[in-house]
A and B are shown apart, each in its own frame.
Chain A
Amino acid sequence: MSVAIAPQPARRLSAAARAVFTSVPPSVLLSFVVVAIVLLWALFPGLFTSYSAVLGNTATKFEGPSAQHWFGTDDLGRDEFARVVHGAGPSVGTALVAVGIGLFAGGLIGLLAGFFGGWVDAVLGRLVDTLLAIPYFLLAVVIVVGLGFDTINAAIATGISSVAIFARLMRAEVLKVRHSVFVESSYLQGGSRGYVLFRHVLPNAYRSVLALSVLQLGQAIIVIAALAFLGYGSPPPASDWGELVSAGQSYATAPWLVYCPAIVIVLTVLSINRISRWLRKTN
C-alpha cells in the first residue's frame, strides 16, 4: 500500500485505466472476453441463438454436436446451446446478486467492527464466527430450504453464506488503515470519523475487497450451480447450468449433454478467477 497517502480519487482511476491498457497479460484479456460473452448471453440471449430453450423438436432428439446444433440436442430435441445461453442469466446474473448481498452486508459488518472496535467488534465478531462455523455450502442449503427452492433464493442463500468472508476481509483492511500514521494525522488535523472513513479507510480497502468480490463471483457461480445440480434451483424447464449438467447425467449415450454445460461453467469460473488473481497481483 505505497499509494496509501490519500491520493486524489481521480488520479487513482486514471492510473488504473492506464494500467489496464498497457500491461494486461494476454490470458487476462482472454478472460475478460470470456466473461463479456457470458454476460452478453445473460443480458441478450436472443442475439446468440435462434432456437428456443424450452420448446424442442422430438424428431431431432439426442443429436450430437454439429454446425446446426453446436452443443447437440437433448432428450426433447431442444438445442443444448440455446439452453446454455438462456441459462446464463439465472446462473451468472444470480451470482452477481449473491456477491452484491455478501459485499454489502459483509462489507458493512466488517467496516463497523474494524472502525469502532470495542464491544461492537466483539458482538459482530461472534456473529461472523457463527456464520463461519457452518460450512459455506451447508449454510446455503439450509437457507435455501428455508426460503424455498428457486434460483433467486439460491442466490440469496449463497450471498448470505459469503457475508462472513467479506466481513473478515473488510475488518482486516480497515484495521490495517486505521492505525496508520496518515489516519492519526488526519484525526489530529480535525478530521471527523465520517471524513476519515470516506477519505482514507474506504479508498484504501476497496482494491482487496474488489479482488475478493471477483473471486467470490466465481465461487457463487459454483455454489449456485451445485444447488441447482441437487435440484434446489428453479424447477424445469429452467435451464440453470447446474441443472443442465444434472439432467444430462441421466443419458450415458449423450455425453455432450454433460460436457458442454460443464465446460462452460469451468471456463467461466476459470476466467473470473484469473481476473481476480490479476487484480490481486496488481494491487
Chain B
Amino acid sequence: MTDVALLASDQLPGPAPGSWSRGRPYFVYALQRLAQAVVVIILAYALSFVLITVLPGNAIATVLGNPETGLSPAQVKNVESYYGVTKPVVVQLWLALTRFAQGQLGVSLVTHQTVTSLIAGALPYTLKLAGTALLISLILAAVIAYGSQYLPGKWARSVLRSAPSLFLSVPNFIIGLLLIREFSFQLHTFDVLSPDSPVGTFFAALALAIPICAPLAEVLIANLDRESGQEYVLVARSRGLTQAKLFARHLVKPSMLPAVTMAALIVGELMGGAIITEEVFGRNGIGSVMYQAVSQQDTPVLQGVVALAAVVFVVVNLLADLVAPLLDPRVRLTGGARREVAAA
C-alpha cells in the first residue's frame, strides 16, 4: 500500500504501457481494459484456488474426515463429488472455475449454507464500516493537506506534514485497541464495542481510516506543493481569491487525478484492514466470516471472500482507469481525434 506514495511522487516514467494515451481511440482502450479485468478476475480466482487447495493439507478432506461435522456418510460423498475432491487438481480447478463463471461459489463445509448467501449476509456490515472509514479518511486527508499549506506557524505545518508517516507506522489493530482502551475502559462513556451503535461504527471506522488516509494525504500534499507554485495560482490570488476558495477551486481539482487512481488501492486496503478491525472490535462482516472460515478450515468460504475482494478491487480499478483519462483536462485538447473515431 505504501508504495503508492513512492509511485505517486515521480517514479513512473509517463503513462504505463497499459494505460490510455493520446491518439489511441478511447473506446478501444476501454474494451481492452475491460477484457483485461475479466482475465485478471479469473486468474485471481484460479490463483487463490491453487494456493488454498494445492498447498499442503487438503482442507476439504480434513474437514470432511472430522466426525464432528455432523454429516452423514452419504452427505460426505455428496460434498466430495461436488468439489471433485478425489479427482486430479486440474479437474477440481476446472470445476471451480466453471462454477465461478456461473456465479456459484460453492457451499460452506461447516454451516452448509451457500457461500453466496453467507457473504451477502455479512456484506452490509462491512460496507457500512468501510464506507464510514472511507469518508473519515477522505476528510482527514483533506484536513491534513489543507493544514500543511495554510496553518499559521511553520512548526504546526511540519507536525501535520509528518502525520502521514506516523499514521503509516501504526498497525490498525493497535489503533483499534488503543481506542477501545481509552474510550471504552477509561472513560466508560461511549459504546465503543457495541457494533450496532453509530459510536461503535465510528470508532471502528476511525481505526480503519487512520492508516488509509496517510498515503492519500501524502499525495495531496505533494500535489498541493507542486500546484501552489504554479503561475495560475498566483494570478488567482492576485484576483483576490481567499485561501479557502483557492484551495477548493484551483488546488483540489488538479489533485483529483492521482487521487482517483489511488481510490482502487485504497479499496484493497479497506478490505484487508476490515478483517482485522472487525476482529478487534468484535463486529460482524466479511472479515469475521473469513476469520471463522480460517479457524474452521472452511476453504470454499475463504475462497469466496478472496473472490469477492478480487472482483471489487478489479472493478474499482477498472472504473478508475476508465474515468482517469476523462478527468485529465489535456484530453479535451485531443477531442477532435476522438470525434473522428466516433464518426468512423
Contact = CB atoms under 8 A, between A and B. Distances in A.
A29 interface: no
A130 B43 contact: yes
A245 B174 contact: yes
B6 interface: yes
A137 B6 contact: no
A127 B44 CA distance: 9
B2 A135 contact: no
Interface stretch (B73-81, B102-110, B229-237, B309-317): B309-317
A169 interface: yes
Given A148-B57, A226-B173, A266-B174, A136 B1 contact: yes
Secondary structure of the A contact surface, majority rule = helix
A245 B40 CA distance: 37
Contact of A226 (B9, B56, B268, B276): B276
A35 interface: no
30 contacts: A125-B18, A126-B36, A126-B40, A126-B43, A129-B36, A131-B47, A133-B40, A133-B43, A134-B309, A134-B310, A135-B313, A136-B269, A138-B290, A141-B290, A142-B48, A145-B59, A145-B294, A145-B297, A148-B57, A165-B3, A172-B11, A172-B12, A172-B13, A211-B6, A229-B173, A230-B291, A242-B173, A265-B171, A266-B174, A269-B170
B302 interface: yes
Interface in A233-282: 242, 245, 249, 252, 255, 258, 262, 265-266, 269-270, 273-274, 277, 280
A135 B268 contact: yes
A186 interface: no
Contacts of A130: 40, 43-44, 47
Given A125-B18, A277-B165, 16 more contacts: A129-B36, A129-B43, A132-B313, A134-B313, A137-B273, A138-B271, A138-B272, A141-B275, A141-B290, A147-B55, A175-B13, A218-B2, A218-B168, A230-B291, A255-B181, A270-B169
A208 to B, nearest CB: 6
A62 B44 CA distance: 47
Nearest to A225: B171
Contacts of B44: 130, 133-134
A266 B170 contact: yes
Interface in B42-91: 43-44, 47-48, 51-52, 54-57, 59
Interface string B176-199: 011001000100000000000000
B115 interface: no
A141 B2 contact: no
B181 A169 contact: no
A38 interface: no
A212 B11 CA distance: 11
Interface residues on A, range: 35 or more
B39 interface: yes
Interface centre among A127, A135, A141, A147, by most chain B C-beta atoms within 10 angstroms, is A135
Contacts of B6: 169, 208, 211-212, 215, 280
Interface string A5-16: 000000000000
Contacts of B314: 133
A273 B214 CA distance: 13
Nearest to B211: A222
A131 B309 CA distance: 12
B196 to A, nearest CB: 22
A169 B3 contact: yes
Contacts of B39: 126
Contacts of A222: 169, 171
Contact of B169 (A175, A249, A269): A269
A129 B40 contact: yes
A176 B13 contact: yes
B271 A249 contact: no
Nearest to A121: B17
Q: Which of A126, A215, A218, A230 has the most CB of B within 10 A?
A: A230
B279 A146 contact: no
B12 to A, nearest CB: 6
Interface string A128-168: 01111111111101110111100000000000000001001
Nearest to B13: A176
A219 interface: yes
Interface string B240-283: 00000000000000000000000000001101110110010000
Contacts of A212: 3, 6
A219 B169 CA distance: 8
Nearest to B47: A130
Nearest to B265: A132
A215 B294 contact: no
A169 B11 contact: yes
Contacts of A137: 272-273, 275-276
A94 to B, nearest CB: 15
B7 interface: yes
